Protein backbone atom coordinates (compact mmCIF):
# COMPACT_ATOMS: atom_id res chain seq x y z
CA UNK A 1 0.00 0.00 0.00
CA UNK A 2 1.29 3.49 -0.91
CA UNK A 3 2.47 5.78 1.90
CA UNK A 4 -0.43 8.01 2.93
CA UNK A 5 0.01 11.77 3.34
CA UNK A 6 -2.51 14.34 4.50
CA UNK A 7 -2.07 17.95 3.34
CA UNK A 8 -3.80 20.60 5.47
CA UNK A 9 -3.77 24.12 4.01
CA UNK A 10 -6.42 26.79 3.59
CA UNK A 11 -5.03 27.76 0.15
CA UNK A 12 -6.62 25.66 -2.60
CA UNK A 13 -3.73 26.15 -5.01
CA UNK A 14 -1.25 24.76 -2.46
CA UNK A 15 -3.43 21.69 -1.97
CA UNK A 16 -3.72 21.05 -5.69
CA UNK A 17 -0.04 21.62 -6.42
CA UNK A 18 1.18 19.54 -3.50
CA UNK A 19 -1.22 16.71 -4.28
CA UNK A 20 -0.10 16.62 -7.93
CA UNK A 21 3.59 16.48 -6.98
CA UNK A 22 3.16 13.80 -4.35
CA UNK A 23 0.82 11.58 -6.35
CA UNK A 24 3.29 11.63 -9.22
CA UNK A 25 5.86 10.21 -6.78
CA UNK A 26 3.58 7.32 -5.74
CA UNK A 27 2.12 8.73 -2.52
CA UNK A 28 -1.53 8.39 -1.55
CA UNK A 29 -2.70 11.96 -0.83
CA UNK A 30 -5.58 13.28 1.28
CA UNK A 31 -6.39 16.97 1.56
CA UNK A 32 -8.16 19.30 3.96
CA UNK A 33 -8.63 23.07 4.03
CA UNK A 34 -9.00 23.36 7.83
CA UNK A 35 -7.21 22.00 10.85
CA UNK A 36 -10.48 20.91 12.48
CA UNK A 37 -11.43 18.80 9.46
CA UNK A 38 -7.84 17.60 9.21
CA UNK A 39 -7.92 16.22 12.75
CA UNK A 40 -11.06 14.28 11.87
CA UNK A 41 -9.35 12.87 8.77
CA UNK A 42 -6.31 11.82 10.82
CA UNK A 43 -8.53 10.00 13.30
CA UNK A 44 -10.33 8.21 10.46
CA UNK A 45 -7.57 7.58 7.87
CA UNK A 46 -4.43 7.48 10.05
CA UNK A 47 -1.96 9.00 7.57
CA UNK A 48 1.75 8.45 8.14
CA UNK A 49 2.73 12.07 7.51
CA UNK A 50 0.85 15.39 7.63
CA UNK A 51 1.88 18.54 5.74
CA UNK A 52 0.42 21.28 7.91
CA UNK A 53 0.20 25.01 7.19
CA UNK A 54 1.34 27.27 10.02
CA UNK A 55 -1.10 30.18 9.34
CA UNK A 56 -4.76 29.10 9.14
CA UNK A 57 -8.07 30.52 10.39
CA UNK A 58 -10.14 29.06 13.28
CA UNK A 59 -7.35 26.72 14.43
CA UNK A 60 -3.78 27.70 13.62
CA UNK A 61 -1.11 25.22 12.63
CA UNK A 62 0.78 25.31 15.94
CA UNK A 63 -2.34 24.40 17.91
CA UNK A 64 -3.16 21.64 15.42
CA UNK A 65 0.44 20.36 15.60
CA UNK A 66 0.27 20.02 19.38
CA UNK A 67 -3.03 18.12 19.19
CA UNK A 68 -1.72 15.76 16.48
CA UNK A 69 1.39 14.90 18.48
CA UNK A 70 -0.66 14.34 21.62
CA UNK A 71 -3.51 12.33 20.07
CA UNK A 72 -1.75 10.59 17.15
CA UNK A 73 1.91 9.93 18.07
CA UNK A 74 2.36 7.63 15.07
CA UNK A 75 1.60 10.49 12.66
CA UNK A 76 4.59 12.74 11.85
CA UNK A 77 4.13 16.41 10.93
CA UNK A 78 5.98 18.66 8.47
CA UNK A 79 5.04 22.33 8.81
CA UNK A 80 4.50 24.78 5.95
CA UNK A 81 5.36 28.33 6.94
CA UNK A 82 5.79 31.61 5.13
CA UNK A 83 7.61 33.08 8.09
CA UNK A 84 11.19 31.97 8.15
CA UNK A 85 12.33 33.27 11.52
CA UNK A 86 14.48 31.10 13.76
CA UNK A 87 12.09 31.68 16.67
CA UNK A 88 9.19 30.08 14.75
CA UNK A 89 11.37 27.18 13.63
CA UNK A 90 12.47 26.50 17.21
CA UNK A 91 8.89 26.78 18.45
CA UNK A 92 7.65 24.30 15.81
CA UNK A 93 10.37 21.76 16.51
CA UNK A 94 9.77 22.00 20.28
CA UNK A 95 6.06 21.38 19.66
CA UNK A 96 6.87 18.12 17.88
CA UNK A 97 7.27 18.95 14.19
CA UNK A 98 9.55 16.53 12.33
CA UNK A 99 10.58 19.26 9.85
CA UNK A 100 9.41 22.53 8.41
CA UNK A 101 9.37 23.86 4.83
CA UNK A 102 9.37 27.51 3.86
CA UNK A 103 6.89 28.82 1.28
CA UNK A 104 7.35 29.06 -1.61
CA UNK A 105 8.96 25.61 -1.71
CA UNK A 106 11.02 23.74 -4.26
CA UNK A 107 9.32 20.59 -5.60
CA UNK A 108 12.42 18.43 -5.27
CA UNK A 109 13.16 19.80 -1.83
CA UNK A 110 9.58 18.96 -0.76
CA UNK A 111 9.88 15.37 -1.94
CA UNK A 112 13.31 14.93 -0.33
CA UNK A 113 12.12 16.36 2.98
CA UNK A 114 9.10 14.06 2.98
CA UNK A 115 11.25 11.04 2.10
CA UNK A 116 13.59 11.93 4.96
CA UNK A 117 10.69 12.16 7.44
CA UNK A 118 9.31 8.82 6.24
CA UNK A 119 12.70 7.25 6.77
CA UNK A 120 13.01 8.74 10.28
CA UNK A 121 9.48 7.59 11.07
CA UNK A 122 10.20 4.02 9.98
CA UNK A 123 13.38 3.93 12.06
CA UNK A 124 11.73 5.41 15.15
CA UNK A 125 8.68 3.16 14.91
CA UNK A 126 10.94 0.14 14.47
CA UNK A 127 12.94 1.25 17.51
CA UNK A 128 9.72 1.68 19.46
CA UNK A 129 8.63 -1.81 18.46
CA UNK A 130 11.99 -3.12 19.65
CA UNK A 131 11.61 -1.24 22.94
CA UNK A 132 8.09 -2.59 23.36
CA UNK A 133 9.31 -6.09 22.58
CA UNK A 134 12.15 -5.63 25.05
CA UNK A 135 9.72 -4.51 27.74
CA UNK A 136 7.45 -7.44 26.94
CA UNK A 137 10.34 -9.89 27.16
CA UNK A 138 11.60 -8.29 30.38
CA UNK A 139 8.07 -8.59 31.75
CA UNK A 140 7.98 -12.26 30.79
CA UNK A 141 11.40 -12.84 32.35
CA UNK A 142 10.27 -11.08 35.52
CA UNK A 143 7.17 -13.25 35.53
CA UNK A 144 9.30 -16.38 35.08
CA UNK A 145 11.63 -15.21 37.87
CA UNK A 146 8.69 -14.63 40.20
CA UNK A 147 7.24 -18.03 39.34
CA UNK A 148 10.64 -19.64 39.89
CA UNK A 149 11.02 -17.86 43.22
CA UNK A 150 7.50 -18.97 44.17
CA UNK A 151 8.28 -22.57 43.28
CA UNK A 152 11.61 -22.49 45.10
CA UNK A 153 9.89 -21.05 48.18
CA UNK A 154 7.15 -23.66 47.89
CA UNK A 155 9.62 -26.52 47.53
CA UNK A 156 11.74 -25.12 50.36
CA UNK A 157 8.67 -25.02 52.57
CA UNK A 158 7.78 -28.58 51.57
CA UNK A 159 11.34 -29.68 52.34
CA UNK A 160 11.24 -27.89 55.68
CA UNK A 161 7.95 -29.58 56.52
CA UNK A 162 9.32 -32.96 55.40
CA UNK A 163 12.39 -32.47 57.60
CA UNK A 164 10.16 -31.51 60.51
CA UNK A 165 7.98 -34.58 59.89
CA UNK A 166 11.08 -36.77 59.81
CA UNK A 167 12.39 -35.19 62.99
CA UNK A 168 9.07 -35.74 64.75
CA UNK A 169 9.00 -39.35 63.55
CA UNK A 170 12.49 -39.89 64.92
CA UNK A 171 11.49 -38.30 68.23
CA UNK A 172 8.43 -40.52 68.50
CA UNK A 173 10.51 -43.58 67.65
CA UNK A 174 13.10 -42.66 70.25
CA UNK A 175 10.34 -42.00 72.75
CA UNK A 176 8.90 -45.45 72.05
CA UNK A 177 12.17 -47.20 72.87
CA UNK A 178 12.77 -44.94 75.86
CA UNK A 179 9.29 -45.30 77.31
CA UNK A 180 9.19 -49.08 76.93
CA UNK A 181 12.52 -49.49 78.72
CA UNK A 182 11.72 -46.82 81.29
CA UNK A 183 8.33 -48.33 82.12
CA UNK A 184 9.91 -51.73 82.67
CA UNK A 185 12.82 -50.44 84.75
CA UNK A 186 10.77 -48.01 86.83
CA UNK A 187 7.70 -50.17 87.46
CA UNK A 188 9.65 -52.93 89.18
CA UNK A 189 11.02 -50.74 92.01
CA UNK A 190 7.79 -48.74 91.95
CA UNK A 191 5.83 -51.91 92.63
CA UNK A 192 8.13 -52.69 95.53
CA UNK A 193 7.69 -49.19 96.95
CA UNK A 194 3.92 -49.60 96.72
CA UNK A 195 3.98 -52.97 98.51
CA UNK A 196 6.26 -51.74 101.31
CA UNK A 197 4.08 -48.63 101.71
CA UNK A 198 1.00 -50.81 102.10
CA UNK A 199 2.77 -53.03 104.66
CA UNK A 200 3.99 -49.94 106.50
CA UNK A 201 0.48 -48.51 106.55
CA UNK A 202 -0.92 -51.69 108.07
CA UNK A 203 1.76 -51.77 110.76
CA UNK A 204 1.08 -48.15 111.65
CA UNK A 205 -2.69 -48.45 111.80
CA UNK A 206 -2.66 -47.14 115.37
CA UNK A 207 -0.86 -43.94 114.34
CA UNK A 208 -3.13 -41.80 112.12
CA UNK A 209 -0.40 -39.32 111.24
CA UNK A 210 1.98 -42.07 110.06
CA UNK A 211 -0.85 -43.71 108.11
CA UNK A 212 -1.42 -40.41 106.35
CA UNK A 213 2.24 -40.31 105.37
CA UNK A 214 1.96 -43.83 103.94
CA UNK A 215 -1.14 -42.77 101.98
CA UNK A 216 0.84 -39.90 100.47
CA UNK A 217 3.54 -42.34 99.37
CA UNK A 218 0.91 -44.54 97.68
CA UNK A 219 -0.66 -41.49 96.02
CA UNK A 220 2.70 -40.43 94.57
CA UNK A 221 3.32 -44.00 93.38
CA UNK A 222 0.00 -43.93 91.55
CA UNK A 223 0.91 -40.57 90.02
CA UNK A 224 4.23 -41.92 88.74
CA UNK A 225 2.45 -44.98 87.32
CA UNK A 226 -0.07 -42.69 85.61
CA UNK A 227 2.81 -40.74 84.01
CA UNK A 228 4.30 -43.99 82.74
CA UNK A 229 0.97 -44.94 81.18
CA UNK A 230 0.75 -41.56 79.45
CA UNK A 231 4.31 -41.94 78.25
CA UNK A 232 3.46 -45.30 76.70
CA UNK A 233 0.29 -43.85 75.12
CA UNK A 234 2.34 -41.08 73.52
CA UNK A 235 4.80 -43.48 71.93
CA UNK A 236 2.81 -46.48 70.74
CA UNK A 237 -0.67 -47.78 70.07
CA UNK A 238 -1.81 -49.78 73.06
CA UNK A 239 -5.17 -50.82 71.65
CA UNK A 240 -6.90 -50.64 68.31
CA UNK A 241 -10.49 -51.61 67.58
CA UNK A 242 -11.57 -50.09 64.23
CA UNK A 243 -15.26 -49.59 63.51
CA UNK A 244 -17.61 -47.14 61.85
CA UNK A 245 -17.28 -43.79 63.65
CA UNK A 246 -19.64 -40.90 62.93
CA UNK A 247 -17.25 -38.02 63.40
CA UNK A 248 -19.98 -35.38 63.78
CA UNK A 249 -21.65 -37.33 66.57
CA UNK A 250 -18.32 -37.99 68.28
CA UNK A 251 -17.42 -34.28 68.17
CA UNK A 252 -20.80 -33.39 69.67
CA UNK A 253 -20.31 -35.91 72.49
CA UNK A 254 -16.86 -34.54 73.30
CA UNK A 255 -18.22 -30.99 73.30
CA UNK A 256 -21.04 -32.08 75.60
CA UNK A 257 -18.47 -33.45 78.06
CA UNK A 258 -16.80 -30.05 78.10
CA UNK A 259 -20.14 -28.21 78.46
CA UNK A 260 -19.72 -27.34 82.18
CA UNK A 261 -16.22 -25.96 81.58
CA UNK A 262 -17.40 -24.05 78.51
CA UNK A 263 -20.17 -22.45 80.53
CA UNK A 264 -17.91 -21.69 83.50
CA UNK A 265 -15.34 -19.97 81.27
CA UNK A 266 -18.03 -18.25 79.16
CA UNK A 267 -16.65 -19.69 75.93
CA UNK A 268 -18.91 -19.50 72.88
CA UNK A 269 -18.91 -22.54 70.57
CA UNK A 270 -19.25 -22.25 66.80
CA UNK A 271 -19.97 -25.58 65.11
CA UNK A 272 -19.83 -25.78 61.34
CA UNK A 273 -20.16 -29.29 59.94
CA UNK A 274 -20.34 -29.87 56.20
CA UNK A 275 -23.62 -31.54 55.28
CA UNK A 276 -23.49 -35.23 54.44
CA UNK A 277 -22.14 -38.42 55.91
CA UNK A 278 -19.03 -38.04 58.09
CA UNK A 279 -18.32 -41.68 58.89
CA UNK A 280 -14.73 -42.92 59.08
CA UNK A 281 -13.22 -46.32 59.82
CA UNK A 282 -11.34 -45.88 63.10
CA UNK A 283 -11.05 -46.72 66.78
CA UNK A 284 -13.53 -44.38 68.51
CA UNK A 285 -11.42 -44.20 71.68
CA UNK A 286 -8.40 -42.98 69.72
CA UNK A 287 -10.39 -40.42 67.73
CA UNK A 288 -12.00 -39.16 70.92
CA UNK A 289 -8.55 -38.82 72.46
CA UNK A 290 -7.47 -36.57 69.58
CA UNK A 291 -10.25 -34.05 70.01
CA UNK A 292 -10.35 -34.26 73.81
CA UNK A 293 -6.73 -33.12 73.85
CA UNK A 294 -7.29 -30.36 71.26
CA UNK A 295 -10.41 -29.02 72.99
CA UNK A 296 -8.69 -29.12 76.39
CA UNK A 297 -5.77 -27.11 74.99
CA UNK A 298 -8.14 -24.60 73.39
CA UNK A 299 -10.04 -24.06 76.63
CA UNK A 300 -6.79 -23.65 78.56
CA UNK A 301 -6.00 -20.69 76.29
CA UNK A 302 -9.35 -18.97 77.01
CA UNK A 303 -9.77 -18.87 80.81
CA UNK A 304 -11.68 -15.57 80.66
CA UNK A 305 -13.94 -16.37 77.70
CA UNK A 306 -13.59 -16.47 73.94
CA UNK A 307 -14.78 -18.35 70.90
CA UNK A 308 -14.17 -22.04 70.21
CA UNK A 309 -14.53 -23.05 66.56
CA UNK A 310 -15.13 -26.64 65.44
CA UNK A 311 -15.41 -27.00 61.67
CA UNK A 312 -15.60 -30.18 59.63
CA UNK A 313 -15.19 -30.63 55.87
CA UNK A 314 -15.06 -33.75 53.75
CA UNK A 315 -14.06 -34.78 50.25
CA UNK A 316 -14.04 -38.12 48.45
CA UNK A 317 -11.12 -39.57 50.43
CA UNK A 318 -10.64 -37.53 53.60
CA UNK A 319 -12.35 -35.62 56.35
CA UNK A 320 -10.80 -32.55 57.99
CA UNK A 321 -11.64 -31.06 61.37
CA UNK A 322 -10.37 -27.63 62.43
CA UNK A 323 -10.34 -26.72 66.12
CA UNK A 324 -9.65 -23.03 66.73
CA UNK A 325 -9.54 -20.71 69.72
CA UNK A 326 -9.26 -16.97 70.28
CA UNK A 327 -6.57 -17.24 72.93
CA UNK A 328 -3.19 -15.57 73.10
CA UNK A 329 -1.70 -17.76 70.36
CA UNK A 330 1.56 -19.66 70.16
CA UNK A 331 4.81 -17.67 69.98
CA UNK A 332 6.69 -18.32 66.70
CA UNK A 333 9.64 -19.83 68.55
CA UNK A 334 7.36 -22.53 70.04
CA UNK A 335 5.43 -23.54 66.90
CA UNK A 336 8.06 -26.08 65.90
CA UNK A 337 8.11 -27.66 69.37
CA UNK A 338 4.46 -28.09 70.32
CA UNK A 339 4.32 -31.73 69.17
CA UNK A 340 7.56 -32.64 70.95
CA UNK A 341 7.18 -35.08 73.85
CA UNK A 342 7.61 -33.39 77.25
CA UNK A 343 7.26 -29.87 75.77
CA UNK A 344 4.64 -27.76 77.53
CA UNK A 345 4.08 -24.14 78.49
CA UNK A 346 1.42 -25.02 81.08
CA UNK A 347 2.19 -24.58 84.74
CA UNK A 348 0.78 -28.07 85.28
CA UNK A 349 1.21 -30.46 82.40
CA UNK A 350 3.21 -33.45 81.23
CA UNK A 351 3.74 -32.35 77.64
CA UNK A 352 2.30 -35.60 76.29
CA UNK A 353 -1.09 -34.38 74.96
CA UNK A 354 -0.12 -33.21 71.48
CA UNK A 355 2.44 -36.01 71.14
CA UNK A 356 -0.42 -38.47 71.64
CA UNK A 357 -2.51 -36.61 69.07
CA UNK A 358 0.34 -36.66 66.55
CA UNK A 359 0.97 -40.36 67.09
CA UNK A 360 -2.71 -41.29 66.61
CA UNK A 361 -3.14 -39.10 63.54
CA UNK A 362 -0.05 -40.58 61.92
CA UNK A 363 -1.13 -44.12 62.70
CA UNK A 364 -4.16 -43.47 60.48
CA UNK A 365 -2.06 -42.01 57.68
CA UNK A 366 -3.43 -38.58 58.49
CA UNK A 367 -1.90 -35.19 59.01
CA UNK A 368 -2.15 -32.44 61.62
CA UNK A 369 -1.10 -28.84 61.08
CA UNK A 370 -1.22 -25.75 63.26
CA UNK A 371 -1.56 -22.06 62.45
CA UNK A 372 -1.05 -19.43 65.09
CA UNK A 373 0.10 -15.89 65.61
CA UNK A 374 0.79 -14.43 68.99
CA UNK A 375 -2.32 -12.60 70.16
CA UNK A 376 -4.55 -13.95 67.35
CA UNK A 377 -5.43 -17.42 68.60
CA UNK A 378 -4.54 -20.88 67.33
CA UNK A 379 -6.10 -23.32 64.88
CA UNK A 380 -5.31 -27.04 64.63
CA UNK A 381 -6.41 -28.82 61.46
CA UNK A 382 -6.67 -32.61 61.56
CA UNK A 383 -6.96 -34.47 58.26
CA UNK A 384 -7.95 -38.15 58.45
CA UNK A 385 -8.49 -40.61 55.58
CA UNK A 386 -11.91 -42.25 55.43
CA UNK A 387 -10.13 -45.60 55.50
CA UNK A 388 -7.07 -46.11 57.78
CA UNK A 389 -3.78 -45.70 55.90
CA UNK A 390 -5.43 -44.47 52.67
CA UNK A 391 -3.85 -41.60 50.75
CA UNK A 392 -5.40 -38.15 50.53
CA UNK A 393 -4.06 -35.97 53.35
CA UNK A 394 -1.41 -33.79 51.70
Q: Where are the domains of the chain?
A: 4-105, 160-235, 243-385
CATH topology of domain 243-385: Heat Shock Protein 90 (3.30.565)
pLDDT class for 1, splitting at 50, 70, 90?
very low
Convert the pLDDT of each residue in 72-95 to its tens digit: 999 999 998 877 677 888 888 889
Q: How much is the pTM?
A: 0.49
Convert the pLDDT of each residue in 356-394 to its tens digit: 788 888 888 888 889 987 778 999 999 998 876 666 676
CATH superfamily membership of 4-105 = Response regulator (3.40.50.2300)
| Alpha carbons 273 and 252: distance in angstroms, whole number | 11
Convert the pLDDT of each residue in 111-134 to its tens digit: 998 999 999 999 988 998 999 999
The alpha-helical segments, DSSP class H, found in the chain are 12-24, 35-45, 61-71, 86-94, 107-203, 208-235, 247-257, 259-264, 284-300, 332-335, 353-363
CA separation, residue 87 to residues 76, 94, 96 (Å)? 21, 11, 15
pLDDT class for 219, splitting at 50, 70, 90?
confident
| Alpha carbons 313 and 315: distance in angstroms, whole number | 7
pLDDT class for 69, splitting at 50, 70, 90?
very high
Identify the pLDDT of residue 309. Answer: 93
Higher pLDDT, 296 or 184: 296
Identify the pLDDT of residue 363. Answer: 83
Amino acid sequence: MADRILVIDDEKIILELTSMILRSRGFEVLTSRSAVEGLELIAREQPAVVLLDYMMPVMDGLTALKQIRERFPGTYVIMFTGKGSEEIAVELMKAGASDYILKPFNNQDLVERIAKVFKIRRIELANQELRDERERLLGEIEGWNQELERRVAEKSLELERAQMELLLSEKLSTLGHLSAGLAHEVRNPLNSISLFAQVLKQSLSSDPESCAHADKILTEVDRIDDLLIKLLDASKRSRFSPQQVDLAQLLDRVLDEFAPQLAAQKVEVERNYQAGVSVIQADPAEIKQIFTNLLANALYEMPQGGRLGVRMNKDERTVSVAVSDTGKGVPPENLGKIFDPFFTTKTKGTGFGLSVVLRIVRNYGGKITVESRKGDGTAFNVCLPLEPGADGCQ
